[in-house]
Every structure is written in C-alpha cells, then in structure tokens.
C-alpha cells in the first residue's frame, strides 16, 4: 500500500519492500520470486543490508532446478510451506494430546 509515486521516477532506485529503504545500487536489489517486489539481497554476504534469502529449489515436482530469491517474509512463508509439506509433522506437533501426563516408567 504505497501511495508515494514520484513523477518521472523510473527504475533508477528501488525501495526495499521489506525495510522500506531505498537502494541506489541495483546489484544489491533483487526481485522476490514470490511477491515480485524488490528487496535487499547481499550476494557476497559483505557489508550491507540483507532483507531476503536464497531458496534452493530442489523440488523436482515443481520443475525448478535453480535458485529462487525470496524476501524475508516470503522466505519464511516458503519455509513453512515446505515444512508442512513434509510427510510427517515436526516432533513438536506430533505429540498426541491424550498422552497421560506424569507417567512413570512402566
Ligand atoms: Zn531492505
Ligand atoms: Zn516477497
């Protein structure tokens, strides 16, 4: 929801969709694979902002064999989707609620 549109401003400087700061260096801005918005990407892990991450696409079902760039919110969402797509739930959620509490050794 950005209503700030400067007339005459093209693709000179992109503003990060995560932290909202403008980044004059296009090499440090990447487009999110999920929301298609620009965000800070620090390719060499040097000094500078890093508002996203690289998702290594290893799912053959999606027919994707490369890397997906995701901003931080989308990366988290992607990670959760991948976690929920696992054949078994994580141990924390796998514990049955009807397990007797305080039970000793049988
Ligand atoms: Zn940023
Ligand atoms: Zn995104």
pLDDT digits (tens, 9 = 90+) for 11-56: 456 899 999 999 988 889 999 999 999 999 987 767 888 999 988 8
Summarize the confidence of residues 93-101 as an average pLDDT.
63
d(C-alpha 23, C-alpha 39), whole Å: 9
Distance (angstroms) between ligand 1 centre and the Cα of 69 equals 14
Tell me the C-alpha distance between 59 and 48, whole Å. 31
Closest ligand to residue 37's CA: 2
Quote the ligand 1 centre to 106 CA distance (angstroms). 55
Ligand nearest to the CA of 31: 2
- Give the residue from 90, 53, 85, 86 showing the smallest Cα distance to 72: 53
The whole-model pTM stands at 0.61
Q: Which ligand is nearest to the CA of 42?
A: 1
């Amino acid at each position: 929801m950005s209503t700030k549109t400067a007339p005459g401003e093209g693709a000179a400087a992109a503003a990060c969709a995560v932290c909202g700061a403008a980044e004059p260096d296009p090499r440090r801005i990447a487009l999110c694979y999920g929301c298609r918005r620009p965000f800070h990407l620090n390719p060499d892990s040097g000094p500078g902002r890093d508002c996203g991450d690289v998702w290594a696409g290893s799912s053959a079902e999606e027919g994707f064999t490369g890397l997906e760039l995701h901003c931080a919110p989308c990366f988290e969402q992607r990670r959760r989707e991948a976690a929920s797509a696992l054949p078994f739930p994580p141990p924390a959620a796998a514990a049955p609620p009807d397990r007797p509490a305080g039970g000793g050794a049988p």
